[in-house]
């Protein structure tokens, strides 16, 4: 290998390093944004619904079941009123 080839390789590696550092910086910024969004969602879940995000699905299912039960009760009451 000649000195010129070695210098070209060094410059190529410097360029690749710079590009990789740029990608790392961009990914770090994206990760920071996602972390902030995640924290906001967790806090909203805790403050608005009183549960952790992993509990939210069961809470939604419970609320949905409650609404279905109430709807059935209303329909029954409606049928009673229409029958009178």
3-state secondary structure the chain: CCHHHHHHHHHHHHHHHHHHHHHHHHHHHHHHHHHHHHHHHHHHHHHHHCCCHHHHHHHHHHHHHHHHHHHHHHHHHHHHHHHC
pLDDT at 84 over 80: no
pLDDT value of residue 75: 92
**Higher confidence at residue 79 or residue 51?**
79
Q: What percent of the chain has pLDDT over 70?
A: 99
Question: What are 24-59's pLDDT values in tens digits?
Answer: 999 999 999 999 998 998 888 888 888 787 887 888
């Amino acid at each position: 290998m000649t000195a010129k080839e070695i210098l070209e390789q060094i410059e190529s590696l410097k360029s690749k390093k710079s590009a990789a550092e740029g990608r790392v910086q961009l990914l770090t910024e994206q990760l920071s944004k996602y972390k902030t969004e995640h924290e906001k969602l967790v806090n909203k879940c805790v403050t608005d619904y009183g549960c952790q995000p992993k509990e939210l699905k069961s809470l939604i299912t419970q609320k949905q079941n409650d609404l279905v039960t109430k709807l059935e009760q209303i329909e029954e009451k409606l049928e009673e009123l229409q029958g009178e």
